[in-house]
Structure 1
Amino acid sequence: MKANVGRLDKILHIVIGVLLIALALTGVIGAWGYIGVIPLATGVFNFCALYTLLGINTCKLKK
Structure 2
Amino acid sequence: MKKNIGNTDRFVRIIFGIILLILFMSGALIENQTLKWIVLALSVILIVTSFTTFCPLYALLGKSTCEVKKKK
**Same fold, judged at TM 0.5 (above):** yes
Q: Who is 1:32 aligned against?
A: 38
* Counterpart for residue 49 of structure 1: 56
Partner of 1:21: 21
Q: CA RMSD in A?
A: 1.0
- Aligned match for 2:66, one of 49, 56, 59: 59
**Which consecutive aligned stretches of 4+ in structure 1 deviate over 4 angstroms post-superposition?**
none
Q: How many residues align?
A: 63
Question: Bigger CA drift: 11-20 or 24-33?
Answer: 24-33
Q: Distance in 2 between matches of 1:44 and 1:58?
A: 14
Cα distance in 2, alignment partners of residues 25 and 33 from structure 1:
10
Q: TM-score, normalised by structure 2?
A: 0.80
What SS is found at the alignment partner of 2:59? helix
Q: Percent identity?
A: 40
Q: 2 CA distance for matches of 1:61 and 1:34? A: 33
Q: Does the residue aligned with 1:53 lie in a helix, a strand or coil? A: helix
TM-score of the two chains, using structure 1 as the length reference: 0.91
Higher gyration radius (CA): 2
Partner of 1:10: 10
Structure 1 unaligned segments of length 5 or more: list them.
none
Deviation at 1:31, TM superposition (A): 2.8
